[in-house]
Amino acid sequence: MTVSVEGNLLFDFSSAVRSTKFDEEGAHGLTHCMKAVDFLVETHDAVLLIEAKDPDHPLAQARDVAVFAQELQSSVLTARELVPKCRDTFIYEWCCQDRAVDINKPWKYLVLIALSALRPPELIVLSDGLRRSLPVAGPPGQRWQPFVQDCQVFNLQTWSKSLGALFPVTRLQQ
């Protein structure tokens, strides 16, 4: 898969070693008990778990966008969706003998929230909260090997600036 759609967003993964739409029906056999990120992408030097949320979708209802924004600000989205999707996807790949990716590469969790009202300072706070919740850093004074070496939350503008050359994302027309 080199191009894939999530919501109203088109992702181009043609520069990846491999990519999988991991939350698609049949992508893995435990969807009844494990959550999945949208995409599992392998590059030459890392494995990327990519989750996309598109509250600015042209068909989104104002009430749904308001609920999403409230869940985002209250950390409910992080606790109920973002952390379990990352953790369950990693556990699935770690346990699976027929892995889709090289589990020995560093893992990074990238979350794209296509919400125009989301500004860079809020993205920093969300990224820091996600790092603590996963957790990327272990208990003080203990040796710790995190399953995810880093994570970051983006909006469309910061994604384009940081990752757009590697994995461009465009909004589909409705």
pTM assigned to the model: 0.93
What mean pLDDT comes out for the span 160-166?
A: 94
For residue 1, pLDDT over 70 is answered with no
State how many domains the chain has.
Answer: 1
For residue 173, pLDDT over 80 is answered with no
Own/partner long-range contacts of 19-24 (Cβ < 8 Å, ≥24 apart): 20/100, 22/89, 22/100
Place of tokens 């950390």: 75
Cα–Cα distance, 50 to 59 (Å, whole number): 23
3-state SS, residue 53: strand
3-state SS, residue 95: helix
Lowest mean pLDDT across 43-52, 67-76, 91-100: 91-100
pLDDT tens for each residue of 42-59: 999 999 999 999 999 988
Cα–Cα distance, 41 to 88 (Å, whole number): 16
For residue 64, pLDDT over 70 is answered with yes
Give the range of the structural domain holding residue 146, as residue numbers without chain letter: 3-171
Cα–Cα distance, 139 to 130 (Å, whole number): 16
For residue 114, pLDDT over 90 is answered with yes
Length of the chain counted residue by residue: 174
